[in-house]
Amino acid sequence: MRSLLKGRSAWSDRIEVDIGDDAAVVVPAPERSLVMTCDTMVETVHFLRQTMSCRDIGWKLLTSNLSDIAAMGGTPTFALLSIAVPFSWQTEEIQEIYRGLYQCADENRVTLVGGDTVSTPGPLTLSLTLLGEVSPGNALRRSSAKPGDVVFVTGTVGDSAAGLYLLLHHPQLKEDFPTLVKAHTRPAAQVSIGKWLAESGFNPACDDISDGIAGEAWEIAEASGVKLVIEQEKLPLTAACKEVAKMAEMDPYEWAWFGGEDYQLIGTIRPDGWQQLRQAALEENILITAIGRVEAGEPCVEKETAGKRMSLQQKGYNHFADR
């Protein structure tokens, strides 16, 4: 265990008892609420050795949790990592996972303060709990969407699924599409936009895109009791994503709707808020795109394409497993 702490940085001066005792103790920031989330990754279900290096695994595990904190508008702070290690994995490989985790933690000023390491006869299983902070009452909820809101998305979508397609089916081409591969193996969470939204005063709805835009839009629609109408042609797809889709004879929009793991934010905000948000994103050099609108009605998501509307199915697909 101790060897796994090499390379770890402590980013907080509020740690009272650090990793190594029965539990860690920290002093919460005054006048801040505590945000907490937990995400698990299982080898063969969430990643394959052929698609992800050890460092990628550690990096992406933290990103998936950062993305949940971002979707609440929080600032990430402390992490605990539980890892169940199969006999077939070498200590050096596990150290590499921690190195990837520490790289991502350092970029986001997150400190690993605890966890558990056990053995397993099954696949490598990693579970990370991430804490964060947000001003009381400011956390972004899925339930805040209101008719008249603009639906927006950060960054581009579909790249992660395109990258995974390449890694699974055309690994020899991965150097031709480095941004797609990176979108899948080294995604970044949209923490700064999330913080802006939380402090904006507009009470936007927000969700992170871990399972594809379709599923996340449905979650907002159901939690808010509204209809989301999304114009497919406005979805921000990269040229690289479209190129790989063409090569694969697949529809790149399917990747955007259902591919997932983009770790962008989708949200809704009233029109004057949208103007301010677009300006703030421009100043921080972050791409943000209006993709639709919120209407009153039975909770659902409609896709608008070439002027026609159709209801959009809720579920994405699972790349590796049947369950």
Q: Please report, as ranges, the residues that interact with a second copy according to CB under 8 A.
A: 16-17, 21-28, 32-42, 44-46, 68-69, 71-72, 74, 78, 80-84, 87, 113-116, 118-123, 125, 127, 129, 131-132, 134, 136-137, 139, 141-143, 206-208, 223, 321, 323
Phi-psi region of 173 (alpha: psi -120 to 50; beta: other; left: phi over 0): alpha
**DSSP 8-state secondary structure symbol assigned to residue 43:** B
Cα distance between residue 323 and residue 313, in whole Å? 18
Q: What is the per-residue DSSP string for 48-86?
A: -TTT--HHHHHHHHHHHHHHHHHHTTPEEEEEEEEEEEE
Residue closest to 189 by CA, chosen among 110, 243, 278, 306: 110
Min dist CB 94 to a second copy, Å, is 13
> In the bound complex, what is the minimum distance in angstroms from residue 312's beta carbon to a second copy?
21
Q: Confirm or deny that 116 is annotated as ligand binding.
A: yes
Tell me whether residue 114 or residue 163 sits nearer to a second copy (CB atom): 114
322 annotated to bind ligand: no
CB of 295 to a second copy, least distance (A): 22
Q: Which is nearer to a second copy, 2 or 308 (CB)?
A: 2
Is 170 assigned to a binding site? no
Residue 46, marked binder: yes
Distance CA 294, CA 8 (A): 44
d(CA 132, CA 13): 15
Q: How far is the CB of 279 from a second copy (least distance, A)?
A: 25
Residue 21 Cβ, how far from a second copy at the closest point, in Å?
6
Q: Which tokens belong to 31?
A: 């006048």
User: Which three-class secondary structure string do you get for 211-248?
Assistant: CCHHHHHHHHHHHHCCEEEEEHHHCCCCHHHHHHHHHH
State which residue, 251 or 317, has the beta carbon closest to a second copy. 317
Q: Which is nearer to a second copy, 311 or 318 (CB)?
A: 318
CB 71 within 8 A of CB 220: no
Nearest distance from C-beta of residue 244 to a second copy, angstroms: 27
- Check the annotation: does 13 bind a ligand: no
The phi and psi torsions of 113 (rounded to 5 degrees) equal: -120, 0
What would the two tokens of residue 35 be? 């945000």
Any known ligand binding at 317?
Answer: yes
Q: Which is nearer to a second copy, 308 or 323 (CB)?
A: 323
**Which is nearer to a second copy, 157 or 189 (by Cβ)?**
189
In three-state secondary structure terms, 187 is: coil
Cβ closer to a second copy: 57 or 237?
57
Q: Is 261 within any annotated ligand binding site?
A: yes
Give the nearest distance from C-beta 183 to a second copy in angstroms: 20
Measured CA to CA in angstroms, residue 204 lies from 38, 92, 263 at distances of: 23, 44, 18
Residue 68 counted as an annotated binding residue: yes
Find how far residue 129's CA is from the centre of its chain: 14
- The annotation places the binding site for Mg(2+) at 22, 37, 39, 68, 116, 208, 211
Query: Which residues are part of a known binding site for substrate?
Result: 46, 261, 317
Annotated binding site, which residues? Answer: 22, 37, 39, 46, 68, 98, 115-116, 142, 208, 210-211, 261, 317
